[in-house]
Amino acid sequence: MTDEVSNAIERKRGDTYADEFVITKNGQPIDITGASFLLTVDPTKNPTTSANNLYQLVGVVSGTPPNQVVSFAPTASQANQLGKFFYDLQMTLGGVVRTVVLDKYTYVQDITK
């Protein structure tokens, strides 16, 4: 559902700003009014259960069509990570679940503690 671009995320350990996504189809933003979103981070690319999920965030939709953004902000505890992980972003709209992004999610060391 998103365009064929890399959606890999690299964050600094401890940063709690929101990751923001514009949901597109054929390069155009779509109306996500009424949709719900989950972003799940896991150490495994293809987990068979949710037992090892690092965390899961509920998305917050802001803006008006066609300028809508869905945001996911980890807590300080969730962001206190280092390493290479994977994530997906699922959208539920009208009872239909669709994975719209699946990519790498990396936490790198910062300097300020």
SS3 79: coil
- As a whole number, the mean pLDDT across the chain is 93
pLDDT of residue 113: 74
Sheet with 19-21, side-by-side order of all strands = 19-21, 69-72, 60-62
Whether residue 1 is predicted with pLDDT greater than 50 in this model: the reply is no
- Pair of tokens at residue 5: 């671009």
pLDDT of residue 5: 57
DSSP alpha helices (H): ranges in the chain? Answer: none
Q: Which CATH number fits domain 9-108: 3.30.70.260, 2.30.110.10, 3.40.50.300, 2.60.40.3350?
A: 2.60.40.3350
Chain segment 2-44, per-residue pLDDT in tens: 444 579 999 999 999 999 999 998 889 999 999 999 999 999 9
Number of neighbouring beta carbons within 10 Å of residue 28: 9
Following DSSP, what letter does each residue of 15-41 receive, concatenated?
Answer: --PPEEE--EETTEE---TT-EEEEEE
Chain segment 35-45, per-residue pLDDT in tens: 999 999 999 99
Domain spans, the chain: 9-108
